[in-house]
A = this chain, B = another copy of it.
Amino acid sequence: MSDAESVRPLRVAVLGCGSVGSQVVRLLDEQSDDLAARIGAPLELVGVAVRRLDAPREVEVPAGLLTTDAQGLVARDDVDLVVEVIGGIEPARGLILSALEHGAAVVTANKALLAADGPTLFDAAAQAGRDLFYEASVAGAIPILRPLRESLAGDRVTRVLGIVNGTTNFILDRMDTSGAGFAEALEEAQDLGYAEADPTADVEGFDAAAKAAILASLAFHSRVTADDVHREGISEVTAADVQSAREMGSVVKLLAIAELRRNADGDEAVAVRVHPAMIPASHPLASVREAYNAVFVESRAAGQLMFYGPGAGGAPTASAVLGDLVTVARNRLSGRSGPGESAYADRPVLPMGETVTRYHVAIDVDDRAGVLAAVATSFADHGVSIQTVKQEGRGADAQLVVVSHTATDAQLAATVEQLRTMDAVREVTSVMRVEGDTE
């Protein structure tokens, strides 16, 4: 440790002092000896950019370090490492670009920015010859980006299935365990602090879609942005869906899915989407409870891997930030940068219509002879093969639950459209994808 302390300190600026930033500041202080020993030089916090100097904070920050001039902080010549935990697009983007231009390496937790405009940042980092690390942007404390980028670099990832949003997993878990509907479970999540007053970003899948784009980019060495991600949230998942899943030995989860698939031209393409799906209770992701996150990775040689842990929270996210900080600090000391963006494969994004999966379709129908045959014919006419069908009489009407074999999204959509026009069909009450098979 004496070696480390005789070296010039590496100077760190932290942008943002909310729940993550304040934990970063705390850990930089508490772990300073360990950090110095692991890096080979001490870290010195030289500034913390905040919006308001007098806002209440989780940690005591020496007043001399606080500044409202974030731009001035990143432009300082003596800053080696910048941690960006403000979030959102601007001013975060401008500050990161400025930090890189001024020669600092950057660690960020900003999933929205990376998913919206990652390439701009990656190009700037490459141009500057500086590291841009972002492990904390996906699944909080869970090391998943580094394993995808480095541990699996000699393998061929074929699919990533992630539970990457804690709020929605908490809600769906509650619906599963208590039989509650979506609204009731959301309210409980809000009461317990797992969901925000405006839960849109979580429950409509925007947060998960940003993470899906980041995972897909890394797994498939291609540029994928949030706009490329087909997105459906969980606000239309009903207690009946959850019950129906349970009857077939499954649970409903909001999944971020990125897969390698052949497109219509026969080229390898990246299929990337976020939607609720039924997965078998025996699947490792099915036992991810409450607000935990997990990412399940299938690769050709390694087989099936899963990475599990807390997907959010100040301290867990700060752990991921500091892990990156140690690496970029080591790189900085040795005058180099780590592996940058890898987008050499440059695969196209598969249109959602060509995405292949299985489907669970619930249909209210008249309870009369010939209805099942008519419904089955409609599936067959669109090339959707049926795996199981269950009919339940309920007086004058009946419910059909059809689970299909794999079909394209376009085939299924056309089937459902036709079903809705059929006289005997009162309502297609639910369409949900079935995932988690291993092919």
> Which residues of chain A from 37 to 67 have a CB within 8 Å of any chain B CB?
37-38
Q: Does A276 contact B (CB under 8 A)?
A: no
> Do B323 and A155 touch (CB < 8 A)?
yes
24 contacts between A and B (CB under 8 A): A27-B155, A31-B155, A34-B156, A34-B221, A141-B305, A142-B305, A143-B143, A143-B146, A143-B305, A146-B147, A150-B327, A152-B323, A153-B323, A153-B327, A154-B319, A154-B322, A154-B324, A284-B308, A301-B318, A302-B319, A304-B310, A305-B309, A306-B306, A336-B336
> Do B344 and A315 touch (CB < 8 A)?
no
CB neighbours of A287 from chain B (8 A): 284, 287
How far, in angstroms, from A146 to B154 measured CA to CA in the complex?
14
A-side residues, CB < 8 A to B, are 1, 23, 27, 31, 34-35, 37-38, 135, 141-143, 146-147, 150-156, 221, 284, 287, 299-310, 313, 315-316, 318-327, 330, 334, 336, 339, 342, 344-345
CB distance from A39 to the nearest CB of B (A): 8
CB distance from A44 to the nearest CB of B (A): 15
How far, in angstroms, from A323 to B148 measured CA to CA in the complex?
10
How far, in angstroms, from A141 to B299 measured CA to CA in the complex?
10
CB neighbours of A27 from chain B (8 A): 154-155, 301
> Do A306 and B309 touch (CB < 8 A)?
yes
Given contacts A135-B151, A146-B151, A154-B321, contact A306 B305 (CB under 8 A): no
Given contacts A301-B315, A308-B308, A315-B303, contact A38 B146 (CB under 8 A): no
**Candidates B146, B301, B315, B345; contact of A141 at CB < 8 Å:** B301
CB distance from A246 to the nearest CB of B (A): 18
Given contacts A31-B154, A155-B322, contact A141 B284 (CB under 8 A): no
> Do A325 and B154 touch (CB < 8 A)?
yes
How far, in angstroms, from A139 to B65 measured CA to CA in the complex?
44
> Do B155 and A146 touch (CB < 8 A)?
no
CB neighbours of A299 from chain B (8 A): 319
Q: List 11 additional A-B contacts (Cβ < 8 Å) besides A301-B316, A301-B318, A301-B319.
A: A31-B156, A35-B154, A141-B302, A143-B146, A143-B147, A146-B150, A154-B322, A155-B319, A302-B320, A303-B315, A305-B309
> Do A342 and B147 touch (CB < 8 A)?
no
**Candidates B143, B303, B310, B336; contact of A152 at CB < 8 Å:** B143
**Candidates B37, B142, B323; contact of A345 at CB < 8 Å:** B37
How far, in angstroms, from A146 to B143 measured CA to CA in the complex?
9
How far, in angstroms, from A143 to B303 measured CA to CA in the complex?
12
How far, in angstroms, from A132 to B347 measured CA to CA in the complex?
34
How far, in angstroms, from A326 to B151 measured CA to CA in the complex?
9
CB neighbours of A325 from chain B (8 A): 154
CB neighbours of A330 from chain B (8 A): 339
How far, in angstroms, from A323 to B34 measured CA to CA in the complex?
27
How far, in angstroms, from A307 to B307 measured CA to CA in the complex?
5
How far, in angstroms, from A238 to B95 measured CA to CA in the complex?
62
How far, in angstroms, from A221 to B316 measured CA to CA in the complex?
21
CB neighbours of A334 from chain B (8 A): 336
CB neighbours of A31 from chain B (8 A): 154-156
CB nearest to A315 among chain B residues: B301
CB neighbours of A327 from chain B (8 A): 150, 153
